[in-house]
Amino acid sequence: MKFTQPPEGEYEKHIVPVKGVSSLNFDPYAAEVLTNPYPHYEELREAGPIVWLERYGVYVVSHYNTVRDVLTNPDVFCSSAGVGLSNFHTEKPWRQPSIILEADQPEHTGVRAVFARILSPRALKKLTTTFEAEAETMIDRMLENGECDGVVDLAHAFPIKVFGDAVGIMNEGREHLLPYGDMVFNAFGPVNGRFKECLANLGPATEWIYEACKRENLTDDGFGAAFYAAADAGEITHEGAGLLVRTTLSAGLDTTIFTMGNALVNLGRHPDQWAILRDEPKRARAALEEVLRYDSTFHSFYRTTTREIELEGVKLDKNQKVLVLVASANRDPRHWTEPDKFDVTRKATGNMGFGAGIHGCAGQMIARMEGEIVLRTLATKVETIELLGEPSLHFNNTVRGYTSMPMRITAKKH
């Protein structure tokens, strides 16, 4: 089996603790893997449902059923040790842990309930008209120009505007949100060159976020204000409210931006699939789901064992990090028919692009709403999407997306 060799060559080899388990020198964070991870994931799945990554001293799970089992057993595979490679139970985190992402039951439950209420489908319904109007304005402007950048003009511009407004953060300085998110998602991986470069270029982003999350800097009708109101009601602490605003901002922008970019690139590369959506714009939500499955934004994160546990016949020690490769689960032929085919008519629900179980993405409903509105508005107004050259891939340890996507679009004739 030919796995990607490490570019640096030397690394500390961790010996597999259990005999009979495949032990590989595979680096899921190597640039070559990130460029096109899917063939690598296929090799990994073929090597077994659970494999040891000797470079990092972790197990990796890549089959659909195994990934689902790990994610839906949070008492055994916990989040409080951090959802990155670094173990918060034994190492100091680079920032204060999130009280929702990096927490376990029972502390997690109350916070999650607050989040669920503030970002509930009912609460989101009120935002629909505003989001639709913004999508129409942006897409009309792109159509006037004809040649445009799908990322800059839409995938990036739309969430920065509508999600930023929905949270209620100040307008000035929103560009800092992206390097901050980039840092958060790089930090789920190893301290590699990519991580270090990102940290060095972070600039004032961390300070800006800290200021932006303060109550006095938020509008009084957004999600941010609602978190502080929950603190006033004694459901969470005021410090917790600020951390939830931070989590919402770091988790809710890069991800949505990348998801929309991934939607555009795949619709641009598959004109037949674009035609299906364009002819029936009501398919937008299902098409978005297929984008999340076929080209997941989140590729991997970690869980940590709380006790000895047998997984796929392998005995894992307590405090063992397990890399959960959701983007591989979403391409696993053991679960999906023709997984490498992008098919917007597919029933793609059950994909784990947003994770699964009680730690499944708490913002997934607003993310779906943003994506659905953008795709539906595109399908309603646009006749053709033509990619002009290769879009620019953004390299991050954990999330996948594009920074630039030159394209030409033409309007539907009514």
Partner 1 sequence: MPIITYLLADGTKMNIEAEAGANVMRTAIDADVPGILAECGGAAMCATCHVYVEEEKASIFSEISDVEEEMLECVTEERKPESRLSCQLTIPVGVDQVTVQLPVPQD
Question: Which residues of this chain interact with partner 1, rule CB under 8 A?
Answer: 72, 109-110, 112-113, 116-117, 119-122, 289, 349-352, 354-362, 364-365, 368
* Spatial contact of 156 and 370, defined as CB atoms under 8 Å apart: no
Q: Which residues of 250-286 are buried (b: 16+ CB within 10 A; e: fewer)?
A: bbbbbbbbbbbbbbbbbbbebeebbebbbeebebbeb
Contacts of 341 (CB under 8 A, 6+ apart): none
What is the rounded distance in angstroms from the CA atom of residue 207 to the CA atom of residue 186? Answer: 18
* Spatial contact of 42 and 66, defined as CB atoms under 8 Å apart: no
For partner 1, the closer of residues 358 and 393 by Cβ is 358
What is the rounded distance in angstroms from the CA atom of residue 118 to the CA atom of residue 124? Answer: 9
For partner 1, the closer of residues 50 and 352 by Cβ is 352
Q: Could you tell me the smallest distance in angstroms from the CB atom of residue 40 to partner 1?
A: 25
Q: Could you tell me the smallest distance in angstroms from the CB atom of residue 33 to partner 1?
A: 26
For partner 1, the closer of residues 153 and 372 by Cβ is 372
Q: Could you tell me the smallest distance in angstroms from the CB atom of residue 108 to partner 1?
A: 10
For partner 1, the closer of residues 18 and 358 by Cβ is 358
Cα dihedral across residues 316, 317, 318, 323: positive or negative? negative
Q: Could you tell me the smallest distance in angstroms from the CB atom of residue 136 to partner 1?
A: 23
For partner 1, the closer of residues 17 and 110 by Cβ is 110
For partner 1, the closer of residues 57 and 110 by Cβ is 110
What is the rounded distance in angstroms from the CA atom of residue 52 to the CA atom of residue 59? Answer: 4
* Spatial contact of 397 and 186, defined as CB atoms under 8 Å apart: yes
Q: Could you tell me the smallest distance in angstroms from the CB atom of residue 362 to partner 1?
A: 7
For partner 1, the closer of residues 112 and 215 by Cβ is 112
- From residue 76, alpha-carbon distances to 67, 94, 251 in Å are 13, 24, 24
Six-digit token pair at 82? 């951090």
Q: Could you tell me the smallest distance in angstroms from the CB atom of residue 178 to partner 1?
A: 25
Q: Could you tell me the smallest distance in angstroms from the CB atom of residue 336 to partner 1?
A: 14
- From residue 192, alpha-carbon distances to 13, 28, 166, 198 in Å are 16, 12, 34, 10
DSSP-derived 3-state class of residue 245: helix
Q: Could you tell me the smallest distance in angstroms from the CB atom of residue 315 to partner 1?
A: 22
For partner 1, the closer of residues 9 and 106 by Cβ is 106
